[in-house]
Structure 1
Amino acid sequence: MKAVQYQNFGGPEVLEVVDIPDPKMFADLVLVRIEAAALNPADLAFQSGAADPLVDSLFPVTPGWDLAGVVEQIGVATAGFQPGDEVIGFVRGQAMHYGTYAERISAEPRQLVRKPRNLSWAQAAGLPLAGLTAYQAIVHGLKVTAGDTVLVHGAAGGVGHLAVQIAIAQGARVLGTGSAASQAFIGSLGAIPVRYGDELVDEVLKIAPVGVDAVLDTAGRGSLSTTQALAAVGARVASITRSSTEYEGAIDVYARLDGDDLTRLVELAEEGKLTVHVDSAFPLGQAAEAQRVLAGGHVRGKIVLEIREEV
Protein backbone atom coordinates (compact mmCIF):
# COMPACT_ATOMS: atom_id res chain seq x y z
CA MET A 1 0.00 0.00 0.00
CA LYS A 2 0.99 3.66 -0.31
CA ALA A 3 1.94 5.62 2.79
CA VAL A 4 3.72 8.84 3.66
CA GLN A 5 6.65 8.46 6.04
CA TYR A 6 9.65 10.26 7.47
CA GLN A 7 12.99 8.70 8.43
CA ASN A 8 14.22 11.54 10.64
CA PHE A 9 12.86 14.65 12.33
CA GLY A 10 12.23 17.77 10.31
CA GLY A 11 9.65 19.80 8.45
CA PRO A 12 7.51 18.92 5.44
CA GLU A 13 10.66 18.29 3.40
CA VAL A 14 11.34 15.00 5.25
CA LEU A 15 8.12 13.39 4.03
CA GLU A 16 8.27 10.78 1.28
CA VAL A 17 5.67 8.58 -0.39
CA VAL A 18 6.58 4.90 -0.08
CA ASP A 19 5.20 1.44 -0.77
CA ILE A 20 4.89 -0.65 2.38
CA PRO A 21 3.12 -3.92 3.27
CA ASP A 22 -0.50 -3.78 4.38
CA PRO A 23 -0.91 -3.61 8.17
CA LYS A 24 -0.94 -6.87 10.07
CA MET A 25 -4.07 -7.85 11.96
CA PHE A 26 -4.20 -9.06 15.55
CA ALA A 27 -7.28 -10.87 16.85
CA ASP A 28 -8.92 -7.80 18.41
CA LEU A 29 -8.13 -5.20 15.75
CA VAL A 30 -10.00 -3.63 12.85
CA LEU A 31 -8.47 -3.05 9.42
CA VAL A 32 -9.68 0.25 7.94
CA ARG A 33 -9.31 1.40 4.35
CA ILE A 34 -8.71 5.13 4.76
CA GLU A 35 -10.71 7.48 2.55
CA ALA A 36 -9.45 10.72 4.11
CA ALA A 37 -7.05 11.78 6.86
CA ALA A 38 -6.90 15.20 8.50
CA LEU A 39 -3.78 17.16 9.31
CA ASN A 40 -3.28 18.67 12.75
CA PRO A 41 -0.69 21.06 14.20
CA ALA A 42 0.40 18.16 16.40
CA ASP A 43 1.64 16.38 13.27
CA LEU A 44 4.13 19.19 12.68
CA ALA A 45 5.18 19.33 16.33
CA PHE A 46 5.86 15.60 16.65
CA GLN A 47 7.53 15.45 13.25
CA SER A 48 9.88 18.29 14.21
CA GLY A 49 11.12 16.32 17.21
CA ALA A 50 9.69 18.78 19.73
CA ALA A 51 7.93 15.95 21.57
CA ASP A 52 10.86 13.53 21.46
CA PRO A 53 11.58 13.88 25.20
CA LEU A 54 8.03 12.70 25.90
CA VAL A 55 7.09 10.21 23.17
CA ASP A 56 9.16 7.60 21.37
CA SER A 57 9.37 7.77 17.58
CA LEU A 58 10.03 4.42 15.91
CA PHE A 59 11.41 5.27 12.48
CA PRO A 60 10.19 5.25 9.83
CA VAL A 61 7.13 7.13 11.10
CA THR A 62 3.83 7.45 9.27
CA PRO A 63 2.23 10.60 10.72
CA GLY A 64 -1.45 11.30 11.31
CA TRP A 65 -4.07 10.40 13.91
CA ASP A 66 -7.41 11.30 12.27
CA LEU A 67 -9.21 9.15 9.73
CA ALA A 68 -12.46 8.50 7.96
CA GLY A 69 -12.77 5.21 6.15
CA VAL A 70 -14.36 1.82 5.65
CA VAL A 71 -13.84 -1.32 7.73
CA GLU A 72 -12.30 -3.98 5.49
CA GLN A 73 -11.61 -6.73 7.99
CA ILE A 74 -12.19 -7.51 11.65
CA GLY A 75 -10.22 -9.77 13.95
CA VAL A 76 -11.74 -12.98 15.26
CA ALA A 77 -12.03 -11.40 18.73
CA THR A 78 -13.42 -8.06 17.55
CA ALA A 79 -16.95 -6.93 18.40
CA GLY A 80 -18.92 -3.86 17.39
CA PHE A 81 -17.92 -3.51 13.73
CA GLN A 82 -18.42 -5.39 10.49
CA PRO A 83 -16.74 -5.16 7.08
CA GLY A 84 -18.32 -2.33 5.13
CA ASP A 85 -18.97 -0.12 8.17
CA GLU A 86 -18.12 3.54 7.59
CA VAL A 87 -16.14 4.90 10.52
CA ILE A 88 -14.11 7.81 11.83
CA GLY A 89 -11.28 7.41 14.28
CA PHE A 90 -8.70 8.99 16.52
CA VAL A 91 -5.90 6.47 16.13
CA ARG A 92 -2.99 7.38 18.37
CA GLY A 93 -0.52 4.89 19.77
CA GLN A 94 1.92 5.08 22.68
CA ALA A 95 4.75 5.62 20.19
CA MET A 96 4.92 7.40 16.86
CA HIS A 97 5.12 4.76 14.14
CA TYR A 98 1.81 3.79 12.48
CA GLY A 99 -0.33 6.72 11.35
CA THR A 100 -3.17 7.71 9.05
CA TYR A 101 -1.24 9.28 6.14
CA ALA A 102 -1.72 5.90 4.46
CA GLU A 103 -4.17 3.77 2.52
CA ARG A 104 -4.88 1.43 5.43
CA ILE A 105 -4.37 1.13 9.16
CA SER A 106 -5.09 -1.43 11.87
CA ALA A 107 -6.97 0.19 14.73
CA GLU A 108 -8.43 -0.74 18.06
CA PRO A 109 -12.25 -0.79 18.07
CA ARG A 110 -12.27 1.71 20.95
CA GLN A 111 -10.58 4.23 18.65
CA LEU A 112 -13.44 4.15 16.14
CA VAL A 113 -17.07 5.24 15.95
CA ARG A 114 -19.50 5.35 13.05
CA LYS A 115 -19.07 8.09 10.48
CA PRO A 116 -21.66 10.91 10.48
CA ARG A 117 -24.02 10.12 7.63
CA ASN A 118 -24.32 13.74 6.49
CA LEU A 119 -20.61 14.59 6.32
CA SER A 120 -18.32 13.94 3.38
CA TRP A 121 -15.24 11.79 3.85
CA ALA A 122 -13.07 14.89 4.05
CA GLN A 123 -15.32 16.59 6.58
CA ALA A 124 -15.62 13.45 8.69
CA ALA A 125 -11.84 13.01 8.77
CA GLY A 126 -11.48 16.48 10.26
CA LEU A 127 -13.75 15.75 13.19
CA PRO A 128 -11.96 13.40 15.66
CA LEU A 129 -8.96 15.22 17.19
CA ALA A 130 -10.13 18.81 16.68
CA GLY A 131 -13.67 17.86 17.66
CA LEU A 132 -12.62 16.05 20.83
CA THR A 133 -10.41 19.00 21.80
CA ALA A 134 -13.22 21.49 21.25
CA TYR A 135 -15.90 19.37 22.91
CA GLN A 136 -13.84 18.54 25.96
CA ALA A 137 -12.82 22.19 26.35
CA ILE A 138 -16.33 23.61 26.00
CA VAL A 139 -18.40 20.92 27.74
CA HIS A 140 -16.07 19.36 30.30
CA GLY A 141 -13.48 22.07 30.89
CA LEU A 142 -15.48 25.30 30.74
CA LYS A 143 -18.83 23.62 31.50
CA VAL A 144 -20.64 25.95 29.11
CA THR A 145 -24.42 26.00 29.55
CA ALA A 146 -27.39 27.89 28.17
CA GLY A 147 -27.21 31.63 28.82
CA ASP A 148 -23.41 31.82 29.00
CA THR A 149 -21.51 34.33 26.92
CA VAL A 150 -18.39 32.63 25.57
CA LEU A 151 -15.35 34.14 23.85
CA VAL A 152 -13.38 31.85 21.54
CA HIS A 153 -9.95 33.10 20.48
CA GLY A 154 -8.96 31.77 17.07
CA ALA A 155 -12.55 31.06 16.10
CA ALA A 156 -11.76 30.34 12.44
CA GLY A 157 -9.21 27.60 13.09
CA GLY A 158 -9.55 23.84 13.18
CA VAL A 159 -10.47 23.60 16.86
CA GLY A 160 -11.90 27.11 17.13
CA HIS A 161 -14.59 26.77 14.47
CA LEU A 162 -15.81 23.54 16.08
CA ALA A 163 -15.73 25.06 19.57
CA VAL A 164 -17.93 27.92 18.38
CA GLN A 165 -20.56 25.51 17.08
CA ILE A 166 -20.44 23.28 20.15
CA ALA A 167 -20.86 26.26 22.49
CA ILE A 168 -23.84 27.45 20.45
CA ALA A 169 -25.31 23.95 20.63
CA GLN A 170 -24.99 24.22 24.42
CA GLY A 171 -27.17 27.33 24.29
CA ALA A 172 -24.43 29.94 24.69
CA ARG A 173 -23.96 33.26 22.97
CA VAL A 174 -20.55 33.14 21.33
CA LEU A 175 -18.05 35.81 20.35
CA GLY A 176 -15.21 34.70 18.10
CA THR A 177 -11.93 36.50 17.49
CA GLY A 178 -10.13 36.38 14.17
CA SER A 179 -8.44 38.37 11.46
CA ALA A 180 -10.27 40.87 9.27
CA ALA A 181 -10.38 38.27 6.50
CA SER A 182 -12.04 35.72 8.82
CA GLN A 183 -14.88 37.87 10.08
CA ALA A 184 -17.49 36.70 7.58
CA PHE A 185 -16.56 33.04 8.11
CA ILE A 186 -16.81 33.38 11.89
CA GLY A 187 -20.21 35.05 11.48
CA SER A 188 -21.38 32.18 9.27
CA LEU A 189 -20.77 29.80 12.17
CA GLY A 190 -23.28 31.70 14.28
CA ALA A 191 -20.79 33.65 16.38
CA ILE A 192 -20.41 37.41 16.75
CA PRO A 193 -17.07 38.14 15.04
CA VAL A 194 -14.52 40.35 16.79
CA ARG A 195 -11.22 41.41 15.25
CA TYR A 196 -7.86 40.85 16.87
CA GLY A 197 -6.04 44.02 17.83
CA ASP A 198 -5.86 46.96 20.20
CA GLU A 199 -9.63 47.51 20.20
CA LEU A 200 -10.52 43.93 21.07
CA VAL A 201 -11.40 44.60 24.72
CA ASP A 202 -13.57 47.62 23.89
CA GLU A 203 -15.38 45.70 21.16
CA VAL A 204 -16.09 42.73 23.44
CA LEU A 205 -17.34 44.95 26.27
CA LYS A 206 -19.70 46.73 23.90
CA ILE A 207 -21.33 43.37 23.25
CA ALA A 208 -21.00 41.99 26.80
CA PRO A 209 -20.81 45.02 29.16
CA VAL A 210 -20.33 42.91 32.32
CA GLY A 211 -17.77 40.67 30.64
CA VAL A 212 -17.84 37.16 29.26
CA ASP A 213 -18.57 34.05 31.31
CA ALA A 214 -16.03 31.78 29.65
CA VAL A 215 -12.96 32.14 27.44
CA LEU A 216 -11.34 29.48 25.27
CA ASP A 217 -7.94 30.25 23.78
CA THR A 218 -7.20 28.22 20.66
CA ALA A 219 -4.84 30.78 19.14
CA GLY A 220 -2.05 31.40 21.66
CA ARG A 221 0.34 34.24 20.86
CA GLY A 222 -0.76 36.28 23.87
CA SER A 223 -4.49 35.92 23.34
CA LEU A 224 -5.19 35.39 27.04
CA SER A 225 -3.39 38.60 28.02
CA THR A 226 -6.62 40.56 27.50
CA THR A 227 -8.75 38.21 29.57
CA GLN A 228 -8.53 40.09 32.86
CA ALA A 229 -10.07 43.15 31.22
CA LEU A 230 -12.99 41.38 29.56
CA ALA A 231 -13.86 38.48 31.88
CA ALA A 232 -16.88 38.63 34.15
CA VAL A 233 -16.48 37.86 37.85
CA GLY A 234 -15.94 34.12 38.21
CA ALA A 235 -15.26 33.59 34.51
CA ARG A 236 -13.91 30.19 33.47
CA VAL A 237 -10.84 30.24 31.24
CA ALA A 238 -9.20 27.45 29.27
CA SER A 239 -6.43 27.12 26.69
CA ILE A 240 -5.40 24.42 24.23
CA THR A 241 -2.08 26.16 23.50
CA ARG A 242 -0.30 25.73 26.85
CA SER A 243 -0.67 29.48 27.43
CA SER A 244 -2.74 29.14 30.60
CA THR A 245 0.05 30.81 32.60
CA GLU A 246 -1.05 34.11 31.04
CA TYR A 247 -4.16 34.03 33.24
CA GLU A 248 -4.27 32.78 36.81
CA GLY A 249 -6.77 29.99 37.21
CA ALA A 250 -6.90 29.04 33.53
CA ILE A 251 -6.85 25.34 32.72
CA ASP A 252 -4.96 23.53 29.97
CA VAL A 253 -7.03 21.26 27.76
CA TYR A 254 -5.62 18.21 25.99
CA ALA A 255 -7.70 15.92 23.80
CA ARG A 256 -8.21 12.44 25.14
CA LEU A 257 -9.82 9.50 23.40
CA ASP A 258 -13.36 9.11 24.72
CA GLY A 259 -15.82 7.05 22.73
CA ASP A 260 -18.85 8.73 24.28
CA ASP A 261 -17.55 12.20 23.40
CA LEU A 262 -16.69 11.13 19.86
CA THR A 263 -20.14 9.60 19.45
CA ARG A 264 -21.73 12.81 20.71
CA LEU A 265 -19.82 14.74 18.04
CA VAL A 266 -21.31 12.40 15.43
CA GLU A 267 -24.77 13.03 16.86
CA LEU A 268 -24.30 16.81 16.79
CA ALA A 269 -23.25 16.58 13.16
CA GLU A 270 -26.27 14.49 12.24
CA GLU A 271 -28.54 16.89 14.12
CA GLY A 272 -27.26 19.69 11.90
CA LYS A 273 -25.60 21.49 14.81
CA LEU A 274 -21.99 20.81 13.86
CA THR A 275 -20.12 20.72 10.58
CA VAL A 276 -16.47 20.64 9.60
CA HIS A 277 -15.18 23.27 7.23
CA VAL A 278 -12.50 21.89 4.91
CA ASP A 279 -10.12 24.68 3.98
CA SER A 280 -8.35 22.58 1.37
CA ALA A 281 -7.85 18.95 0.39
CA PHE A 282 -4.76 17.33 -1.11
CA PRO A 283 -4.02 13.87 -2.50
CA LEU A 284 -1.82 11.62 -0.39
CA GLY A 285 1.17 12.26 -2.61
CA GLN A 286 1.02 15.99 -1.81
CA ALA A 287 1.17 15.56 1.97
CA ALA A 288 4.29 17.73 2.19
CA GLU A 289 2.54 20.62 0.44
CA ALA A 290 -0.48 20.16 2.70
CA GLN A 291 1.80 20.47 5.73
CA ARG A 292 3.37 23.63 4.31
CA VAL A 293 -0.07 25.21 4.00
CA LEU A 294 -0.90 24.20 7.57
CA ALA A 295 2.40 25.58 8.87
CA GLY A 296 1.75 28.88 7.10
CA GLY A 297 -1.25 29.60 9.31
CA HIS A 298 -4.43 31.46 8.35
CA VAL A 299 -6.23 28.16 7.77
CA ARG A 300 -10.01 28.20 8.13
CA GLY A 301 -11.17 24.88 9.49
CA LYS A 302 -9.24 21.79 8.48
CA ILE A 303 -6.72 20.62 5.89
CA VAL A 304 -7.33 17.07 4.70
CA LEU A 305 -5.64 14.36 2.64
CA GLU A 306 -8.05 12.57 0.30
CA ILE A 307 -6.73 9.08 -0.21
CA ARG A 308 -7.59 7.28 -3.43
CA GLU A 309 -6.14 3.81 -3.57
CA GLU A 310 -4.33 3.05 -6.82
CA VAL A 311 -5.74 0.09 -8.71
Structure 2
Amino acid sequence: LLASLPPWARVMGFDLQDAYQQLANSPEQRRRLAFSVDEQIFIWLRGMFGVSTMAAIFGQLCDVTCAWLEYTWPSILSRHFADDHLVADTGQHRSLTERDVMAEVELFGWSIHPTKRFGWSRQFELLGFRWDLDRHSVELTPHKRDKYLAKIHHLLRQAPPEQVAFTYDYKDISSVIGSLVHTCVIFSERRSNLNALYAHRNRFHPKRRGHRLHLPRDVLIELKDWASFLRRSDLSASFALPATNSSLKIYSDASNAGCGIVVDRRAQFWALPEHARTAGVDIGVMEMWALHLALQAVIQLA
Protein backbone atom coordinates (compact mmCIF):
# COMPACT_ATOMS: atom_id res chain seq x y z
CA LEU A 1 0.00 0.00 0.00
CA LEU A 2 2.65 2.55 1.03
CA ALA A 3 4.86 1.75 -1.96
CA SER A 4 2.03 2.42 -4.40
CA LEU A 5 0.98 5.81 -2.99
CA PRO A 6 1.42 8.85 -5.29
CA PRO A 7 4.26 11.27 -4.42
CA TRP A 8 1.83 13.87 -3.02
CA ALA A 9 0.06 11.46 -0.66
CA ARG A 10 0.14 11.97 3.11
CA VAL A 11 -0.59 9.61 5.97
CA MET A 12 -2.04 9.85 9.47
CA GLY A 13 -2.56 7.20 12.11
CA PHE A 14 -4.17 6.45 15.46
CA ASP A 15 -4.45 3.68 18.04
CA LEU A 16 -7.65 2.43 19.66
CA GLN A 17 -7.22 2.72 23.42
CA ASP A 18 -7.45 -0.61 25.29
CA ALA A 19 -8.15 -2.34 21.97
CA TYR A 20 -10.52 -5.29 22.42
CA GLN A 21 -11.59 -4.20 25.88
CA GLN A 22 -13.67 -1.39 24.36
CA LEU A 23 -16.23 -3.98 23.30
CA ALA A 24 -18.63 -5.41 25.87
CA ASN A 25 -19.46 -8.84 24.47
CA SER A 26 -22.74 -10.62 25.19
CA PRO A 27 -23.11 -12.27 28.62
CA GLU A 28 -22.98 -15.82 27.27
CA GLN A 29 -19.63 -15.07 25.60
CA ARG A 30 -17.94 -13.63 28.69
CA ARG A 31 -15.26 -15.38 30.64
CA ARG A 32 -15.52 -13.47 33.87
CA LEU A 33 -12.31 -12.95 35.75
CA ALA A 34 -12.66 -12.41 39.50
CA PHE A 35 -9.79 -11.02 41.54
CA SER A 36 -9.28 -9.66 45.04
CA VAL A 37 -7.68 -6.30 45.90
CA ASP A 38 -7.53 -5.11 49.52
CA GLU A 39 -10.25 -7.57 50.56
CA GLN A 40 -12.57 -6.35 47.80
CA ILE A 41 -13.75 -8.65 45.01
CA PHE A 42 -13.75 -7.27 41.47
CA ILE A 43 -15.23 -8.98 38.40
CA TRP A 44 -13.94 -8.13 34.93
CA LEU A 45 -17.01 -8.04 32.69
CA ARG A 46 -15.28 -7.60 29.34
CA GLY A 47 -13.17 -10.04 27.39
CA MET A 48 -9.50 -9.71 28.21
CA PHE A 49 -6.91 -8.89 25.56
CA GLY A 50 -5.89 -12.14 23.91
CA VAL A 51 -8.93 -14.14 25.03
CA SER A 52 -11.06 -15.34 22.10
CA THR A 53 -14.53 -14.46 23.36
CA MET A 54 -15.77 -12.03 20.72
CA ALA A 55 -15.78 -14.08 17.51
CA ALA A 56 -13.57 -11.52 15.73
CA ILE A 57 -16.14 -8.77 16.27
CA PHE A 58 -13.40 -6.28 17.12
CA GLY A 59 -11.55 -6.88 13.86
CA GLN A 60 -14.76 -6.74 11.85
CA LEU A 61 -15.74 -3.41 13.39
CA CYS A 62 -12.27 -2.07 12.57
CA ASP A 63 -12.82 -3.27 8.99
CA VAL A 64 -16.12 -1.39 8.88
CA THR A 65 -14.44 1.75 10.23
CA CYS A 66 -11.85 1.62 7.45
CA ALA A 67 -14.51 0.94 4.81
CA TRP A 68 -16.59 3.88 6.06
CA LEU A 69 -13.67 6.29 5.79
CA GLU A 70 -13.01 5.15 2.22
CA TYR A 71 -16.73 5.50 1.39
CA THR A 72 -16.90 9.00 2.90
CA TRP A 73 -13.83 10.26 1.02
CA PRO A 74 -12.95 8.53 -2.29
CA SER A 75 -9.36 9.82 -2.03
CA ILE A 76 -8.81 7.93 1.25
CA LEU A 77 -7.18 4.52 1.69
CA SER A 78 -7.60 3.10 5.20
CA ARG A 79 -6.16 -0.04 6.81
CA HIS A 80 -5.84 -1.40 10.33
CA PHE A 81 -3.40 -3.79 11.97
CA ALA A 82 -5.20 -5.04 15.09
CA ASP A 83 -5.84 -1.75 16.95
CA ASP A 84 -3.37 0.40 14.94
CA HIS A 85 -5.05 2.36 12.13
CA LEU A 86 -3.47 3.93 9.06
CA VAL A 87 -5.22 6.51 6.87
CA ALA A 88 -3.67 7.65 3.58
CA ASP A 89 -4.96 10.66 1.65
CA THR A 90 -4.22 10.42 -2.07
CA GLY A 91 -5.98 13.69 -2.96
CA GLN A 92 -3.86 16.53 -4.34
CA HIS A 93 -5.87 19.39 -2.80
CA ARG A 94 -5.05 18.45 0.83
CA SER A 95 -8.32 19.95 2.05
CA LEU A 96 -9.09 17.06 4.39
CA THR A 97 -8.10 17.78 7.99
CA GLU A 98 -7.13 15.40 10.76
CA ARG A 99 -10.16 16.61 12.71
CA ASP A 100 -12.45 15.65 9.80
CA VAL A 101 -11.15 12.08 9.88
CA MET A 102 -11.29 11.70 13.66
CA ALA A 103 -14.86 13.03 13.75
CA GLU A 104 -15.96 10.16 11.50
CA VAL A 105 -14.00 7.62 13.56
CA GLU A 106 -15.61 8.86 16.77
CA LEU A 107 -19.07 8.23 15.26
CA PHE A 108 -18.37 4.55 15.92
CA GLY A 109 -17.84 5.22 19.61
CA TRP A 110 -14.15 4.34 19.60
CA SER A 111 -11.90 5.75 22.34
CA ILE A 112 -8.63 6.93 20.79
CA HIS A 113 -5.32 6.65 22.62
CA PRO A 114 -4.24 10.22 23.50
CA THR A 115 -0.55 9.82 22.58
CA LYS A 116 -0.34 6.90 20.14
CA ARG A 117 -1.33 8.90 17.08
CA PHE A 118 0.23 11.14 14.43
CA GLY A 119 -1.09 13.79 12.06
CA TRP A 120 -0.68 14.12 8.30
CA SER A 121 2.92 13.36 7.38
CA ARG A 122 5.18 11.52 4.96
CA GLN A 123 7.53 10.33 7.72
CA PHE A 124 5.93 8.54 10.65
CA GLU A 125 6.18 5.69 13.16
CA LEU A 126 3.76 2.79 12.90
CA LEU A 127 3.91 -0.75 14.33
CA GLY A 128 7.35 -0.12 15.80
CA PHE A 129 8.84 0.93 12.46
CA ARG A 130 9.87 4.32 11.09
CA TRP A 131 8.46 4.83 7.58
CA ASP A 132 9.68 7.39 5.04
CA LEU A 133 7.45 7.78 1.98
CA ASP A 134 9.93 10.07 0.20
CA ARG A 135 12.83 7.61 0.43
CA HIS A 136 10.61 4.50 0.33
CA SER A 137 12.52 3.18 3.33
CA VAL A 138 11.51 1.58 6.62
CA GLU A 139 13.59 0.91 9.73
CA LEU A 140 13.13 -0.66 13.14
CA THR A 141 12.85 2.08 15.77
CA PRO A 142 15.59 2.32 18.44
CA HIS A 143 12.96 1.71 21.14
CA LYS A 144 11.91 -1.60 19.59
CA ARG A 145 15.53 -2.60 18.95
CA ASP A 146 16.41 -2.04 22.63
CA LYS A 147 13.26 -3.83 23.79
CA TYR A 148 13.96 -6.91 21.64
CA LEU A 149 17.64 -7.00 22.64
CA ALA A 150 16.63 -6.88 26.32
CA LYS A 151 14.43 -9.95 25.82
CA ILE A 152 17.28 -11.82 24.14
CA HIS A 153 19.81 -10.82 26.80
CA HIS A 154 17.40 -12.03 29.49
CA LEU A 155 17.41 -15.50 27.92
CA LEU A 156 21.18 -15.49 27.37
CA ARG A 157 22.11 -14.43 30.91
CA GLN A 158 24.58 -16.70 32.65
CA ALA A 159 23.81 -18.33 35.98
CA PRO A 160 26.46 -18.08 38.75
CA PRO A 161 28.97 -20.98 38.69
CA GLU A 162 27.50 -22.56 41.81
CA GLN A 163 23.97 -22.66 40.30
CA VAL A 164 22.44 -24.71 37.52
CA ALA A 165 21.60 -22.92 34.27
CA PHE A 166 18.44 -20.84 34.16
CA THR A 167 15.23 -22.40 32.86
CA TYR A 168 12.42 -20.69 30.97
CA ASP A 169 8.75 -21.37 30.34
CA TYR A 170 6.49 -21.28 27.29
CA LYS A 171 5.62 -17.62 27.82
CA ASP A 172 9.29 -16.57 27.85
CA ILE A 173 9.99 -18.31 24.54
CA SER A 174 6.77 -17.14 22.89
CA SER A 175 7.48 -13.55 23.87
CA VAL A 176 10.87 -13.43 22.17
CA ILE A 177 9.53 -15.33 19.13
CA GLY A 178 6.74 -12.76 18.75
CA SER A 179 9.23 -9.89 18.81
CA LEU A 180 11.55 -11.50 16.29
CA VAL A 181 8.69 -12.45 13.96
CA HIS A 182 7.66 -8.80 14.03
CA THR A 183 11.17 -7.84 12.92
CA CYS A 184 10.72 -10.21 9.96
CA VAL A 185 7.98 -7.94 8.63
CA ILE A 186 10.73 -5.90 6.97
CA PHE A 187 13.53 -8.49 7.08
CA SER A 188 11.68 -11.51 5.69
CA GLU A 189 14.92 -13.41 5.02
CA ARG A 190 15.40 -13.67 8.80
CA ARG A 191 12.43 -16.06 9.15
CA SER A 192 14.74 -19.02 8.62
CA ASN A 193 16.62 -17.98 11.78
CA LEU A 194 13.67 -18.92 13.98
CA ASN A 195 13.60 -22.68 13.41
CA ALA A 196 15.36 -23.65 16.65
CA LEU A 197 13.13 -21.35 18.71
CA TYR A 198 9.97 -22.74 17.12
CA ALA A 199 11.14 -26.31 17.72
CA HIS A 200 12.00 -25.52 21.34
CA ARG A 201 8.57 -23.97 21.96
CA ASN A 202 6.93 -27.17 20.70
CA ARG A 203 8.71 -29.12 23.46
CA PHE A 204 6.61 -27.54 26.20
CA HIS A 205 3.77 -29.63 27.58
CA PRO A 206 0.52 -27.81 26.69
CA LYS A 207 -1.23 -28.71 29.96
CA ARG A 208 1.64 -28.03 32.34
CA ARG A 209 1.71 -24.27 32.87
CA GLY A 210 4.72 -24.42 35.17
CA HIS A 211 6.77 -26.46 32.69
CA ARG A 212 10.27 -24.96 32.40
CA LEU A 213 13.19 -26.04 30.21
CA HIS A 214 16.87 -25.24 29.75
CA LEU A 215 17.83 -23.60 26.48
CA PRO A 216 19.50 -26.11 24.13
CA ARG A 217 22.62 -25.22 22.20
CA ASP A 218 20.88 -24.57 18.87
CA VAL A 219 18.54 -22.05 20.53
CA LEU A 220 21.49 -20.26 22.16
CA ILE A 221 23.23 -20.03 18.78
CA GLU A 222 20.07 -18.65 17.17
CA LEU A 223 19.56 -16.06 19.92
CA LYS A 224 23.18 -14.90 19.69
CA ASP A 225 22.79 -14.54 15.93
CA TRP A 226 19.68 -12.39 16.42
CA ALA A 227 21.47 -10.26 19.03
CA SER A 228 24.29 -9.66 16.56
CA PHE A 229 21.79 -8.75 13.85
CA LEU A 230 19.89 -6.29 16.06
CA ARG A 231 23.13 -4.55 17.07
CA ARG A 232 23.79 -3.60 13.44
CA SER A 233 24.06 0.13 12.84
CA ASP A 234 21.63 -0.03 9.91
CA LEU A 235 18.30 -1.79 10.45
CA SER A 236 16.51 -0.34 7.46
CA ALA A 237 15.06 -1.78 4.27
CA SER A 238 13.48 -0.46 1.09
CA PHE A 239 9.83 -0.97 0.23
CA ALA A 240 10.10 0.60 -3.24
CA LEU A 241 8.34 -1.28 -6.01
CA PRO A 242 10.58 -2.92 -8.65
CA ALA A 243 11.24 -0.94 -11.81
CA THR A 244 9.95 -3.74 -14.03
CA ASN A 245 6.92 -5.95 -13.55
CA SER A 246 6.16 -9.39 -14.92
CA SER A 247 3.12 -11.65 -14.91
CA LEU A 248 3.49 -15.12 -13.42
CA LYS A 249 1.10 -17.81 -12.26
CA ILE A 250 2.18 -18.76 -8.74
CA TYR A 251 0.56 -21.37 -6.52
CA SER A 252 1.46 -22.57 -3.04
CA ASP A 253 -0.15 -25.04 -0.66
CA ALA A 254 0.58 -27.08 2.44
CA SER A 255 -0.76 -30.19 4.14
CA ASN A 256 0.27 -32.80 6.70
CA ALA A 257 2.55 -34.29 4.04
CA GLY A 258 4.52 -31.12 3.35
CA CYS A 259 4.35 -27.99 1.23
CA GLY A 260 4.66 -27.33 -2.48
CA ILE A 261 4.86 -24.50 -4.97
CA VAL A 262 4.18 -24.06 -8.68
CA VAL A 263 5.76 -21.19 -10.64
CA ASP A 264 4.62 -21.20 -14.26
CA ARG A 265 5.40 -24.78 -15.38
CA ARG A 266 7.92 -25.50 -12.63
CA ALA A 267 6.99 -27.32 -9.42
CA GLN A 268 8.77 -28.21 -6.20
CA PHE A 269 7.67 -30.16 -3.11
CA TRP A 270 9.19 -30.38 0.37
CA ALA A 271 8.12 -33.27 2.58
CA LEU A 272 7.66 -32.82 6.31
CA PRO A 273 9.75 -35.09 8.58
CA GLU A 274 7.97 -38.11 10.01
CA HIS A 275 7.63 -36.67 13.53
CA ALA A 276 5.55 -33.78 12.16
CA ARG A 277 2.62 -36.21 11.82
CA THR A 278 2.55 -37.03 15.52
CA ALA A 279 -0.22 -35.63 17.71
CA GLY A 280 0.40 -32.21 19.19
CA VAL A 281 2.85 -30.94 16.57
CA ASP A 282 1.61 -27.63 15.19
CA ILE A 283 2.20 -27.11 11.46
CA GLY A 284 -0.02 -24.05 11.29
CA VAL A 285 2.80 -21.95 9.85
CA MET A 286 3.27 -24.25 6.85
CA GLU A 287 0.89 -22.23 4.67
CA MET A 288 3.00 -19.16 5.35
CA TRP A 289 6.20 -21.07 4.62
CA ALA A 290 4.79 -22.33 1.32
CA LEU A 291 3.96 -18.80 0.19
CA HIS A 292 7.34 -17.54 1.37
CA LEU A 293 9.13 -20.31 -0.55
CA ALA A 294 7.12 -19.46 -3.67
CA LEU A 295 8.16 -15.82 -3.46
CA GLN A 296 11.79 -16.76 -2.85
CA ALA A 297 11.68 -19.05 -5.90
CA VAL A 298 10.35 -16.23 -8.08
CA ILE A 299 13.16 -13.95 -6.90
CA GLN A 300 15.83 -16.58 -7.60
CA LEU A 301 14.35 -17.21 -11.05
CA ALA A 302 14.72 -13.46 -11.71
User: Is the structural similarity TM-score above 0.5?
Assistant: no
Larger radius of gyration: 2
TM norm structure 1: 0.26
Higher-helix-fraction structure: 2
TM-score, normalised to structure 2, is: 0.27
